[in-house]
Amino acid sequence: MAPTVNDSINELLDVIRDGAKASSDRSIEVLNLFRRLTLDSILRCEVGLDHSSLRNPDDLFLKHCKGVIEDTTKMPWLYLLGFLFPTLHSVWITVYRSLHYIKFNPVYWLEDRMREVIVMRRENKETRRPDLVQQMLDARFQADSFKDIEEERVKSDSSRGNTLRSMTNEEIVSHALLFLLAGYETTSTTLTYIFHELSQNPHVQQTLRREIMSVLPRGYCEIAYDDLKKLTYLDYVIWEALRKYPLASSVTARQCVHACNIHGLHIPEGMLIHANLWDVQYDPRHWGDNPHEFDPLRFLPETRKTRHPAAWMPFGAGPRSCAGLRFALLQLKMVLAKVLRDFDFQPSKTLTVPLNLVEGATIMPADGLNVSALRRASAMSELGCLRRMSSVLSMSDIAGLNVGSRRASLAATESDIDNESNASGSEDMDMDANWKGYLARRRSSRKNSILDDEPTQESIHDIRRASITKGIEMLQVKSIHKGINMMRRASCGTVLEKSTGFAKRQPSSVVSPVLRQKEKDDSDAKEKLHASISSSQTEDTAATVSNYLRSKYGKRRASALPDLESVKEFAEFNPMQDLVMKSREQILASLPLKSSGDASKCPEMCARLYKRRASG
């Protein structure tokens, strides 16, 4: 499942990027986006439909799912009657169905599509795939265990006794529909609330991002399931959002089976009981004096231990609690981990707080949610990662380049450098084309099939190799400027300065004096390099470029964080930050260093400062 969800999230990243670019304050409406994401994931994981409502906002599945949820907000009287008079449920269902003759009911459209898929999957044995529908098709039960729902059928066929039976098509259709709607609406609304809280609480967003970056540093394309388990603060953020917004509280009703007394309150048999989750999850007895505050640290293990187990139950409780809990949590974690690596979220100018909520099947923001999505300089989408890999791996080839024979191209004028920036755009396009071509081929190969092949290691490997080859080609066949440009891009966490064309680091608050000196030396080297390129001193320039590139980028690994940031992010996230920084300062002070050049001679410092990987 994780690779399938990964695919959808990669598409989401592109849509966020494009959507934010198109708006003046980079704001995007995320509720609708997340609905499209969760719809795509659930359709892929549940019924094997290769679907992309993220790419196609007019998608019919999306339209009808939205229609179902909207109906639940427009006809609350019918749902209320259902709750008040549950024994008359067959009447309410008939009323609901009859309304179809007045107004088209989107549930029927979805039911028909599910039926088509299931009939087709049952008839065509070659369409097997590891999804939920397949499990239902394969399932076998004791006929007796279905007495309740199949009473008529089992009675009339009593001679069969304990024979096994499979699920009927109609049973599978109704389960599939339930999973589709439950999976589509709840997770997307939860994501919306989480992004709202993150944009309102920048310190939480920052801490969470640091944790994510420390476990999944730049260069990681796919997120492995095991890595997600290491993200504990991410868990706290999700749990706290589900505490503050128990959006599915309206579906936690139970019917009393035996009359009983609870704390003196008599509950007769057959009575419908509804847990008021909003009261429970804001109760100061469990959550302290300020339950309205968004504080993920409420879920620290020691605090959790002392709390009543039923004080938090956004997924319901007991044997009939949410059947999609694990899937929902997996998806929430993957989306947050990937999106926060690439974007910084802030409240949009048009946002009004508190959110205007509306009740339907779930409790959701009535007007969606607008947030501003700012792409981070270090954004590392799958494509970016491939680009960077190709840039970095090509370094082994640059050593072999005959720099001297490229004098002509090194004698570049200022306008050449500008052209080079444009050319780098075309390289980007080449790489984009590589990637898009690969996706298009994958899609067209599945065009007439409902089957979605999982991306194999091989296919990922192929596209990587293609990008690397492309990068090497650029360096060898074209000019060295393009090589330089690629090396520049290899240094992530930097901003490009158009005027000089060289990377300049963001100022860092936690940088030791020696590291500062190193930065200064770096920037001096860059200026010298640029000056020599501009003044066409070809012989010197060739040597300078070659030395500069080798010393600066030659040994960097694709998955490594830039040295300064690695140390900074690790240290800032670590609660031992002060101790770490102090001990490092002490080590630095005790070293006999005269210049930053000496630093590289000191193995201890190299080990501590320069070669540490964030994942180390």
**Chain positions contacting ligand HEM, by CB under 6 A:** 42, 178-179, 182-183, 186-187, 190, 247-248, 251-252, 314-317, 320-324, 327-328
Q: Which is nearer to ligand HEM, 189 or 424 (CB)?
A: 189
> How far, in Å, are 1, 21, 67, 160, 337 from residue 224 at the CA level?
11, 30, 35, 47, 11
In whole angstroms, how close is the CB of 191 to ligand HEM at the nearest point? 8
Q: Which is nearer to ligand HEM, 184 or 343 (CB)?
A: 184
Cβ pair 342, 13 in contact under 8 A: yes
The length of the chain in residues reads 616
Cβ pair 16, 343 in contact under 8 A: yes
Cβ pair 564, 508 in contact under 8 A: yes
Closest CA to 496 of 482, 506, 507: 506
Q: Which is nearer to ligand HEM, 355 or 587 (CB)?
A: 355
Assign 345 to helix, strand or coil. strand
Q: Which is nearer to ligand HEM, 191 or 564 (CB)?
A: 191
Q: Which is nearer to ligand HEM, 217 or 316 (CB)?
A: 316
Closest CA to 342 of 3, 5, 34, 16: 16
In whole angstroms, how close is the CB of 150 to ligand HEM at the nearest point? 18
In whole angstroms, how close is the CB of 315 to ligand HEM at the nearest point? 5
In whole angstroms, how close is the CB of 226 to ligand HEM at the nearest point? 21
Maximum CA pair distance of the chain? 98
In whole angstroms, how close is the CB of 275 to ligand HEM at the nearest point? 8
Q: Which is nearer to ligand HEM, 332 or 487 (CB)?
A: 332
Cβ pair 464, 14 in contact under 8 A: no
Assign 313 to helix, strand or coil. coil
Q: Are strands 164-166 and 140-142 parallel, antiparallel or unpaired?
A: antiparallel
CA atoms within 13 A on the CB side of 551: 13
In whole angstroms, how close is the CB of 362 to ligand HEM at the nearest point? 8
Helices marked H in 264-394:
277-280, 284-287, 301-305, 325-342, 382-393
Q: Which is nearer to ligand HEM, 328 or 392 (CB)?
A: 328
CA angle 449/455/461 to nearest 5° reads 140
Cβ pair 470, 390 in contact under 8 A: yes
Q: Which is nearer to ligand HEM, 323 or 496 (CB)?
A: 323
In whole angstroms, how close is the CB of 154 to ligand HEM at the nearest point? 21
Assign 300 to helix, strand or coil. coil
Q: Which is nearer to ligand HEM, 183 or 384 (CB)?
A: 183
Neighbouring C-beta atoms of residue 301, cutoff 10 Å: 7
322 is known to lie in a ligand binding site: yes
CA atoms within 13 A on the CB side of 5: 24
In whole angstroms, how close is the CB of 253 to ligand HEM at the nearest point? 7
C-alpha span between 45 and 59 (Å, rounded): 18
SS (H, E, C) 237-295: HHHHHHHHCCCCHHHCEEECCCCEEECCEEECCCCEEECCHHHHCCCHHHHCCCCCCCC
Q: Which is nearer to ligand HEM, 251 or 495 (CB)?
A: 251
In whole angstroms, how close is the CB of 254 to ligand HEM at the nearest point? 7
C-alpha span between 4 and 372 (Å, rounded): 27
In whole angstroms, how close is the CB of 121 to ligand HEM at the nearest point? 18
Report the binding-site residues for heme: 322
Report the binding-site residues: 322
